[in-house]
Each structure stands twice: as structure tokens, then as C-alpha cells.
Amino acid sequence: MLSRRQVLAGTASIAALPAFAWAGPVNLCDHVDPFIGTGGHGHLYPGATVPFGMVQLSPDTSNDRWDSCSGYHQSDGSIMGFSHTHLSGTGCPDMLDVLLVPATGEVHLEPGPLDNPDLGYRSRYDRETETARPGYYSVHLTDTRIRAELTATNRAGLHRYTFPEGETGHILLDFVHGGKKWWGENREMVLDNAHLRLIGNDTIVGGRQVFQWASGRWIFFAMKLSRPISRVQFYSDNQPVEGTHITGKNLKAALHFPDAGDEPLLIKVGISAVDIDGALRNLDAELPDFDFDRVHAAARNAWEGELSKVKATFSDDVDQRIFYTAHYHMLLAPTVFHDVDRRYRGMDNAVHTLKPGEANYSTYSLWDTYRAVHPFFTLTQSERVPGMVGGLVRMGQQSPAGVPIWPLQGRETDMMIGYHAAAVMAEAAVKGFKGIDYKAGLEVLSKRAFVDDVHGMGLYRQLGYIPADKVDEAVSRTLEYAYSDWCTSKLAATIGARKTAEALKTRSRNYRNLFDRDIGFVRGRRADGSFVTPYNPHSLGHDQTKWRDYTETNGWQATFLNQHDIYAYAELFGGLKAYEAKLDALFVEPANAEEKSLADITGLVGQYAHGNEPSHHVAYLYAYTGSPYKTQGRVRQLMRDMYRAAPDGLEGNEDCGQMSAWYLMSALGLYPVDPVSGNYVFGSPLVRKAEVALARGKKLVIEAPANTAANIYVQAVSWNGKPYTKSFIRHADLVRGGTLRFDMGPEPNTQFGANMGDRPPSFT
């Protein structure tokens, strides 16, 4: 297991702009800014893709800096070229496959350093000409004087390069390029089984195996050009090689075009994880021609269709831009991971074929996305949920590592802790999604829960906690295993496995074993049962020279990790009032206590850390104490201060949509504190009106007509025209369709949601 990232801080208020109102056709793509999150530590890319697309065709500015995990960062200042696979906001580098470099002049085989682009094939670029929209990217490369345009289909990318009129040019295919280093360590990517082959005078195919984060993954490609290549020069270890088929580890090819400046050169590239035939089939099926404008229009239409599943108005144009960009970013992962012929590479490294109606996906940042991304998909992507969840079940069956943790491109990265596929599977079961083999899913999860001895699991079963003197990050692991127990128990209950359900429900209260009643914090315990010392809730752990007790949190933040048993947990503090006082203290505790911390612990409000996912549900916990008005104030503050319409507009890594999902769901006034409960807790909606398209033609309308920057408190709620006194609502009610109305005002209504019967249920 690895624990990732390096991250950021810094907040700014969003400036008020004139109100937006629908008028005529709504072009939601125009409200998306793909550059949000490409600066700071958002780790996002601005290039061309389609919703959940297997190809992400985007510029690469660097492949060996942590802040360029996606291949791109606004501060880099030059572009190496354009590659076809990118990660969306992760804290680890990988991908960046099949780099194409359009160039004039002499052939350079190395990119050169960031601080001196003249020493390699990098080109500076004119930021004023750089354009990014859903499904399209363009830029003017100033050193080579080439205009680059990119668009994409699901499994293929299409390039259009306009060279200087009347000049020669070439395309360098750098098949060595990829994400190189982790967190500044000199841990280089290793390649094997690489090969390139020229077919005729207009097609190049190839494949390679990459050993990096997703160690041992395969990538194959097929590339066709809009006109014949005058001459191809292959290189191995940067030395010229004759012939039309080469193998090795360090392979490149220069494609020469004496007529480059006569008319735009178009290049289409299909990819596959299965084989070259798969890449060729994907290319021929999805890009039968070189009609760039047609493909661009189709990509934009695909985005318009997905974005229009949520139509929202705001009192501020900036909020609207942040909202629709957040929705866009949520739809970048997971990514389709099967070919048009339904073949895919499984977690056992074998090639499988999907049954009709099945789908396969990759890039599951489950530690992050189980919190709000997948719950949102259960509302707006109901047709995809069975494929996404069914794919996780198959991964668990096929993978030598068992239950998927952070699966990427047919490999298990084993990134982060817990096993939150349990939450995604259980949520789908609780919400009644069909077409998923839940029995097989329970078998996969039960093996981890009752058999496997990995990452302290054996000690967890033996002692009821993981001892901090035996296993790193023991406190966080214990708490997350307890939540996975809860999720697995919910899945077991839905399919009638009562004994398993009861055993795991009981075991999900193991969080108690790390709670120190004397100080009111969770903390590490040794194998002999004693609490570790020294202890400081600002600290990462008791012995930072050896290991930490927490995963990307400290004692303050970890104390509020409990999502599923809040009322019983509050009793450990002395009751709900004492628990609420502890929550209050979290938000006002000094952020800097002269303790060593992690760059992941960012976006601080007191000791609350919005820049990292473990805190995302915490502001909503006030609903359980009968003070949802405190949730409303904090949530509106976080939406205002932690999100900006700027490249550095995210307070942490995007993490495959979770940072954006928190904003989007919070802006709608809903948040799934415990996703497998099937409930959404109310916050402070930012929208004035939203229409959410649900399954079977149903529609959820959310109204808050009096919403302004000042009117942040819920005065009253109605559901389908009738008064609604609860501070939460069930998923089962929302998906039937209806109108949820929030009456907003400038002062708290302390009575709303205060009665015990109106608070969200927990541990049921």
C-alpha cells in the first residue's frame, strides 16, 4: 500500500458577477473551463476527451514533476507534445502514452529541460492562443510556428496540425515517453516488449508494456495519417535503425513531410490494452475518416448531453462556471476499458470478452470517489452504474490481489487504504440496481474481511484494531476497515446473507477500540493494548521517524472519520452535545501547531482540511446533532473559499472527480455522509434552481429562489409542495422524481431539523 500526494493551500473569495438566467437553448459546454485545476495542485489536464473516454488526448508540459502528474501544469511554460492517455487529478504519475511531437527544422530526439526548451523538441507556446473546451484543445507552438488542434472519440484521438506555409516538417513519435517519477524520487518508468511497425506509407502500429504505478500494464496503438509519409526514420536508443519493424525498450520514429506546410496534416490514433488488432478495430470503427470538424461536433454533443443531465441557475456567473466545470471533471473517470469488439485485459493480465450488455472500466480512485462521485452517478448515470459496479466485481474475481483497491489499466496499484469497492458495491445494492452479481461481489469482499492477511487485516480480526507498533498508519486503517465492514454487512443484508451481515455489522464498531475517552480523540494502541505516546492531535503519529499513525490526516481529522455509527460514536464523547462541541472545536483549532504535517492536509479551516477527502463529510455531521444550521454556514463557506474559477482553483488534487463532486452535490443542497445508507443530508444549496434528469424519464427539481450570497440558511423545506421537516432525504424518494424546495434566509432557523425524529438515521 502506498499513500500519495504532496499538495497545496491558499484560499480566495469568489467575486460576485451578474446573475445568469436561461434564455433560449442552453449550451452548457460554454460554461466549462477545463483549465480550472491545471495550476496549483489540482493535477488536471486540459485536453480533448469524451465522457468516460478511454482516450484523453492532451498536451504534456512535463513528465517528471509531481505537480505534472496529469502531464500538464500551467507553470511549465513549454509543451513537449501531445499524448493519448492522462490521469485526472491523481497524486501519482503514469500513462502519457504515445507522444506525438509536431516540429519543423532538425529532428530532436529528447525533450530537453524545462528551463531551456531550445535544447530539445519542446516548444514554447502562446498562452493567449491556448483554447480548451469539452472535446477540443488547440494551441499555437511559438518555437515551431505550428498550430495544434485535438479532438477525440471514445477510443481514438484526432490531431490536426497546421505547419508554416511552404515549409517542411516532421512528426516525432516518442514511444519512450511516459510518467516518470513518484514524489521526486528517482524511480524511473521501465518499459518492456516495445515494438513499432510501418504498414504501407501511411500507418504505424506498436505496443509496449509499462512498469510504473500500474506495473505491467499494456498499451497498443494504431496511427494513420491523412497523406503518405515521405520517409520514416526509426530510432532505438536514439540511434538510427533501418527497416520497417523494430523492437527494443527505447524506440522512436520520425515521420517526414516535405509538403507539411501545403495543407493541414491530420493524424488519427486508436488505442487498446488488448493488442494491435484491437487498436486498429477501435480506430476504424470510431474514426473512419479524417473529418476533424465532424468529430469535434460529435464530442461536443456528447458532452452537452451529459452535462444537460443537470441544468442549474445561480445568482452568480462564476458559481455557474465552477459548477459546470465540476460536473465536467466528474465525468472524466472512471474510463471505458474495453474495445469495440468487447475484448478487454483483465486484472489477471489475460484477455477476456464481455457478455452483451456488460461494460468494463478503469481508473477507479475508490478511496476518494466512493464518498460523492459514485453516489452522484446513482442519480444521473443509472445506465452506467451496473457496468461500473459489475466491472469491480469481475476485477475482484480475476485479480491475484483480490478486492480492487485502486485499479488502473488492468493492474492493481494497491494505492491507499481500506477496500472501498465495498462501499460502491453495497450502495448499488441498497439502491436497487439490477444486473450486478452481488453474490459474487460479497464473495470477493468476504475473502478480504475474513481470510486475507494484508495491511494488518489479520491483526484487525485478532485484536479488533491494528496495533500502531506493528503496522504503519494503523489508526486510519482500523477506522476504514470498520467502515468497509459496515458496507459489506449492508451488501450481505440485501442478498439475505444474515450471519455475515450481523457479524460484520458488529465488527464495524471496532472504531471504539481506538477511542481514548480521557482525551476525546482516536489514537494509536500498541499490541499490548496500551495507547501510544507521545500523543498530540496535531501530529501525524507517535513515531514519525519510523511511521505515521494516520493516512493523510492527523488526530483531529481522524477523530471524525466515522460515517456510519454517529449516534453511538457521540456517546463516547459524552453525548451529542459534547460531540457537537468537539465539531465546533475542530473548525476553530489553530491550523499551525508547530507540528510536522503533510502537504495533503490543506484547505484548512481550523483543523478541518478540505483539500483532502477524509474531511469531506465532516461539515454535514451537525445534522446528526440537531444543528443543521451549522452545516449550512460551514458548507457555504467552503463552497465560497475552497473553489475558484482559476487554474489554481482547487484546494487539493482533484482525485478523479471527488473534489468536484463535493462542490456539485453541495451546490444542489445534498450530501451522502454515509453513501450506503441511501440517504442524503441537506446542506446549503447554492443553486437557485436545478433540474436533474433521472432514470426512466423522471426529473428531480431543486428550488431555492431566494438564494443569494447572504441568504445561506435554510428556513424551511418542502417536498412536492408539502412541508418537509427532516434534515435529510432518501434516495428512494428522490429517484421517483419531484420538487425539493428550500426557503433561504440570512439568519439561522435553529428549529429546522432539531427534533430527534427529523435527524438523519445512522447504523440502520
pLDDT value of residue 131: 98
Roughly how many angstroms between the first and final C-alpha of the chain, as a whole number? 31
User: Full-prediction pTM beyond 0.85?
Assistant: yes
How far, in Å, are 468, 474, 513, 609 from residue 471 at the CA level?
Answer: 6, 6, 16, 25
pLDDT value of residue 185: 52
> Cell for 328?
465536467
- Closest by Cα among 387, 343, 342 to 364: 387
pLDDT value of residue 26: 56
Specify the amino acid at residue 576: L
What is the radius of gyration, based on Cα positions, of the chain?
26
Report the distance separating Cα 2 and Cα 119, nearest Å. 36
Q: Where are the domains of the chain?
A: 35-307, 310-328+363-758
pLDDT value of residue 543: 77
pLDDT value of residue 3: 41
Report the distance separating Cα 80 and Cα 60, nearest Å. 6
In sequence order, which residues have a C-beta less than 8 Å from that of residue 156 and are 6 or more positions away? 55, 268, 269, 270, 271, 282, 283, 286, 287
- Closest by Cα among 628, 506, 496, 503 to 564: 506
pLDDT value of residue 547: 75
How far, in Å, are 58, 142, 329, 377, 716 from residue 615 at the CA level?
Answer: 31, 43, 20, 21, 27
In words, the CATH class of domain 35-307 is mainly beta
> Cell for 638?
467552503
Q: What are phi and psi of 503, to 5 degrees?
A: -60, -45
pLDDT value of residue 591: 84
How many other CB atoms are found less than 10 A from the CB of residue 230?
Answer: 14
Name the one residue in this structure whose C-alpha cell is 494513420: 224
Chain segment 402-460, per-residue pLDDT in tens: 999 999 999 999 999 999 999 999 999 999 999 999 999 999 999 999 999 999 999 99
Specify the amino acid at residue 94: D
Q: What residues in the chain have per-residue pLDDT under 50? A: 1-24, 184
pLDDT value of residue 18: 28
pLDDT value of residue 602: 85
In words, the CATH class of domain 310-328+363-758 is alpha beta
The vertex-390 CA angle with 385 and 395, nearest 5°, equals 130
Q: State CA 614 to chain mean position distance.
A: 14
pLDDT value of residue 9: 28
